[in-house]
Chains A and B, each alone.
Chain A
Amino acid sequence: MGNAQATPARKLTDAEARLAEIFAMQQSAGAPQLAKLRTAAFDAFSKTGLPNRRDEAWKYTDLRALLRDVKPLAEPPEDSAKQGARSAAVLEGVASRRLVFVGGYFVPELSDLADLEAGLSVMSLSEALAKGDAAAMTQIGNVGEVDDPAFALNTAFMGEGVVIRVGAGICVDRPIQLVFVAGAQPATYFLRSLVIVEKGARATLIESFEGETAQEYHVNAATEVVLEEGASLERLKISREGAAAMHVSTFVASLAADAQLSDFGFNLGGAVLRNQFFININGQGAHAGLRGANILKGKEHADATLFLDHAAERSESKALFKSVLDDSSQAVFQGKILVRPGAQKTDARMMARTLLLSEGAQANCKPELEIFADDVQCAHGSTVGALDENLIFYLMARGIPQAEAQSLLTEAFVGEVIDAVADRSVREALTGLVSERLRTR
C-alpha cells in the first residue's frame, strides 16, 4: 500500500471490450460524419465504462451487469421485415405524418414525407448528415450538457433517426409520428433525433418503439429538443418492446423563455426500460410537464430518471409518473430538481404513484432537491398502494366481474396521465393501448 502506484485500469467487461472493438471498426471503415463528436463521446464513455449500481443515477438499473454482451449493429432490413412493419404502427386511429424505421433503418416506402406543411422540415438523420445540414451538425450533442455514459454511447454510435425543424411561428397540427420497429435478428440500435421548434412554433411528436420478436435486442435511443422562445412541443413516447428487449432512452431538452414542453411516456412492454430526462429550463416563464405511465408485468423493469435544471425565473416543472405493477415487475423513479441561484419563483413538483397488483412487485422512489434560490416552491411525493377494496365491491355490486372491476379502476389510475394529452384522437388511442395491455395480464 505504501508505494503510490496508479490503480491498474479496471478490466473491461466483455460488453465494454466489444463496444471498443466496434467503435474502432466504425472508424476504420471511413470517417463517419461528426467523427470528432463521436470520438470525444467514446473517450468520455471509456473513462467510466458502463454505468453500474454504484453510480447514483443508475443505482437501480445496473447496466454493466445487465448488458452481458453487445448485439451486432443492425444490418439493413430484409423486405419481409419491412412487410411485417407495415401493420405494426400503434396509434392507428391518429391522423399523423409517419416515419417508419425497421431494424434501425429508415424505410421511405412505408413513410410519408410528401407535401410537408409550409415551414416544416423533416429529414432522416442519415440524409441530414450526408447533406451536411449545418443546424444538425452544430446542435447534435449540444442541446444540453449531459454527462452520462449511455448518452455518450449513443453519440458515438448514432445510426439513424430524424432531424425536424419547425419554422418560427408555424403551427403543425398533424402529429409527426416516428415508428421504430425492431428487426427479427438480435441487434443493437443506436437511434438519434433532433427536433428544433423555432420561436413561437408548435408541434406534436410521437415516438413509438415496437418489437414483436422474442429475441434479445438492445435499443439506445436519444432525442434532443430545442424549444426556442415561446415554442411549444407535445411529445409522446410509447414503448412496446419485445419480451427480451433492453431499451435505454435519453431525452434532452432546452427551453427558452415561455417555451412549453409537455412530455408523455408509456412503458407497455420490454425486459428493461430506462428513460432518462435532462431538462434544461433556461428561459423565464418556461414550463415543462413530464408525465409517464408504466404498466409492467412478469419481471419487467422500468426506470425513469429525471434531471430538471431550473436556471431561470418563474419557470415551472410538473412531473407525474404512475406505475401499475403486476407479478414481480419493478419500477424506479428518480427525480432530481436543481434550482440554480437566481431562478426565483421557480415552481417545481414531482409525484410518483404506484399501484401494486401483486405482492412480488416493487417500486423504488428517490427524489432529490438542490435549491440555491430562496423564493421558490418545490415539492415531491410518492404513494404506493393497492386497489381500493371498497371500490371493487361497489363495482361488483353492480354486476361487474372482479377482473373487469380491477381493470376499470386501474385504467382510471393511468387515466390521469392520459387525460393531460391535448389531442382527443391520441387520448383515445392511448386509452385503447393501455386497456389492451391491462386486459392481457
Chain B
Amino acid sequence: MTALLEIRDLKAEIAGKQILNGYDLTVKAGEVHAIMGPNGSGKSTLSYVLSGRPGYKITEGQALLAGADLSQMSVDERAAAGLFLAFQYPLEVPGVATMTFLRAALNAQRKKRGEEEMSSPDLIKRVKELAKILDMDMEMLRRPVNVGFSGGEKKRAETLQMMLLEPKLCILDETDSGLDIDALKVVSNGVNQLRSKDRGIVVITHYQRLLDYITPDVVHVQSAGRIVRTGGKELALELEETGYARYQSEAA
C-alpha cells in the first residue's frame, strides 16, 4: 500500500539558505507521528515546503502525498488532495467573515474533488457542532477570520477548520503552544476524533504533555533540517529528561 506521506531525501531552501538537509519521513494511513526538535531546526519549514508556501524551494528529493508529487501541485490543489497544515502562527484575515471563509474553503475543495458542495444551513449546523466540541463561542465565528482572537483561540479555530475540512493528512505545527491546560484537553480531544485508519496525523511539538493526550505511534527527533532519531512514545519522555544537546552536536 502506498504511504500517505512519503518524503525522500528532501532538500529545501528559503532565501538561498538551505534548511532541510536530506529529510526522510514516511507516514502511513492510520498513524500518528510526533516530530520534536530544537528551535530553528526546520520543523515549520518542513510544513511550509509540504504545503507549498511561496519562497520555499525544493532543491532535491521528493515529497509524495498518497503517491502524488506535491511539488507538481499548487497550494490549493494540495489542500484539495487532503493536506492540511494547522499553522504555528495562524493569520488574521480582516474583512473576511469566518463563515464565508469556511464555506469558500470547503466548497472549493469539494468542487475540485468532483463532490457536491455543502449547503449553507448544513455548513452552519456542522460548524456549530464543531464549535461545541472545541468549546468555542459561536459569537467568535461571526467575526472576520481570527481577527482579535487570542493565541489560544486561534489554535482552536485552526482545529475547527481542520475538523470541518476532514483532510487525509493533518500537520499540526505547535498547535499546543499558547493553549491553557483545559484548552489543551479540548483541542486534543478534537484531534483524537480525527484519528482514523484512513488518516495520518503529524504533530510538531516541544512538549511531551501534548503526547499524553494525543498518543503518537512514532516519535521523531529533528535537528538541523533532518530526522536524526526515530522511536516510540517513550522517546518523548527521554527527551524531556535529556534535552536536545546530544542531537545538536551529532547533527553539527
Contacts and interface: CB of A to CB of B under 8 A. Distances in A.
Contact of B144 (A400, A404, A412): A412
Interface of B: 51-54, 74-76, 78-80, 85, 87, 90-91, 93-96, 100-101, 104-106, 108-109, 112, 144, 161, 165
B66 to A, nearest CB: 16
Interface in A384-412: 389-391, 393-402, 404-405, 408-409, 411-412
A409 B161 CA distance: 19
Interface string A42-63: 0000000000000000000000
Chain B contact residues: helix, strand, loop or mixed: helix
B79 to A, nearest CB: 4
A397 B74 CA distance: 9
Nearest to A416: B95
Contact of B74 (A391, A402, A408, A411): A402
Interface string A19-48: 000000000000000000000000000000
B153 to A, nearest CB: 16
B104 to A, nearest CB: 5
A388 to B, nearest CB: 9
Contact of B104 (A391, A394, A408, A415): A408
A413 interface: yes
A432 to B, nearest CB: 13
B165 A398 contact: yes
A278 B214 CA distance: 65
Contacts of B76: 396-397, 399-402, 405
Contacts of A399: 76, 79-80, 105-106, 108-109, 112, 165
Given A404-B108, A408-B104, A397 B85 contact: yes
Interface of A: 389-391, 393-402, 404-405, 408-409, 411-413, 415-416
Contacts of B52: 396-397
A391 B79 contact: no
Contacts of A412: 93-96, 144
Contact of A397 (B51, B106, B112): B51
Contacts, number: 74
Given A402-B74, A412-B94, 16 more contacts: A394-B87, A394-B93, A395-B93, A396-B79, A397-B51, A397-B53, A397-B76, A397-B85, A399-B76, A402-B76, A408-B100, A408-B101, A408-B104, A411-B96, A413-B95, A415-B95
Contacts of B80: 399
Contact of A409 (B87, B96, B109, B165): B96
B93 A391 contact: yes
A3 to B, nearest CB: 66
A237 B161 CA distance: 39
A401 B108 contact: yes
Nearest to A388: B91
A80 to B, nearest CB: 40
Contacts of A409: 93, 95-96
17 contacts: A390-B91, A395-B93, A395-B105, A396-B75, A396-B76, A397-B79, A397-B85, A399-B76, A399-B108, A399-B112, A400-B76, A400-B101, A400-B105, A402-B75, A404-B108, A408-B96, A412-B93
A411 B95 contact: yes
Contact of B101 (A389, A395, A416): A395
A263 B96 CA distance: 24
A404 B104 CA distance: 8
A416 B144 CA distance: 12
A105 B87 CA distance: 59
Contacts of A405: 76
B108 A400 contact: yes
A391 B112 contact: no
B14 to A, nearest CB: 14
Contacts of B51: 397
B204 to A, nearest CB: 16
A391 B51 CA distance: 14
Contacts of A402: 74-76
Max chain B Cβ within 10 angstroms of own Cβ: one of A391, A394, A402, A405? A394
Given A396-B74, A399-B165, A391 B91 contact: yes
Contacts of A391: 91, 93
Closest 3 CB pairs of A and B: A412-B95, A399-B79, A398-B105
A400 B54 contact: no
A390 B146 CA distance: 14
A413 B78 CA distance: 27
A411 B95 CA distance: 8
Contacts of A393: 53-54, 75
Contacts of A398: 79, 101, 105, 161, 165
Contacts of A413: 95
Max chain A Cβ within 10 angstroms of own Cβ: one of B51, B90, B101? B101
Nearest to A419: B95
A402 B104 CA distance: 12
B130 to A, nearest CB: 15
Nearest to B83: A397
Contacts of B90: 394
